[in-house]
Structure 1
Amino acid sequence: MTAPEWWEALYGPDDQPPAEAPRRRWYSARDQAHEPEPQPGLQVTIRPTAPATPVSPRKARIRWWLLRRSTAAGIGWGLGLGPAVSSQLDEAGPGAIGFALLLWLIAWRAATWLLRLVPRDAIQEVHDGADWAAHIPSATILLALALHTPGAVQ
């Protein structure tokens, strides 16, 4: 039985053993200036990227603070504290900014008082979590104040 001619065209005649194809590496450690010669098949070239620029400690602290306070404000808004404060600010009329700042000061002071209840020998994650949870009301009040300013939401 002979193979069809399309089979022989693809794979060669049956009486010859198949030729071993040379194995190529799937990566290239060549210099970037030398472009590889185009060859059939899938080619992957791994090139190192530029190292990331380090972030200053001050910027890292600011980003961390903003992340913690914004998530705390979002949780407070989702729990219903934000809409309640917003309606109180609507009722306050022209004194809404002063009222909101007074509410924020009371909430911030209560948070600092609550944080004193966390044991000093607790791990840092416990302190961070307690700080985040204690500042949910103060962060939510600031968010409500920001959204209450004229022209903030249309």
Structure 2
Amino acid sequence: MTTKQMKAAFAERLKRSMKLRDIPNGAELCRRFNLLHTGEQVADQAIYKWLGGKTMPRPDNMRTLAKLLDVDEHLLAYGPSPSLKTKPLARGENYPLSAETIEWVPKTGALILTINLEDRAGFQEVTVRVASQNAEEG
């Protein structure tokens, strides 16, 4: 799934969640969001970009949005988790890499770390935090 498709799918889930909570439009979503959010206020333009599938909220905004809409944060951001109906693997057997897998190979080539879709958001958040801490220290 491309980033563009992910944003469009998120926008559809957001609209569906708004409808279930009787939030009629982006302006009302913005008003309620800013009443609940403890961080920096969000402008109407940001909300309309979310609804139009142009951008996705930052992690702190996603948490507030999920709380406001009373939905699971991961479900809102990425949709339902892949089914866990797969059979257990035999000892030493690995699942094949899929399009939903992030693969990172360090320059040494000694390690391949794969992260499934469910863990992607957490990994990205940790990576951003570490990078910003390193920038502040450097």
TM over 0.5: no
User: TM-score, normalising length from structure 1?
Assistant: 0.24
Rg larger in 1 or in 2?
A: 1
Q: Which has the higher contact order (CA 8 A, sep 6+)?
A: 1
Q: Which has the higher strand share?
A: 2
- With the length of structure 2 as denominator, give the TM-score of the two structures: 0.26
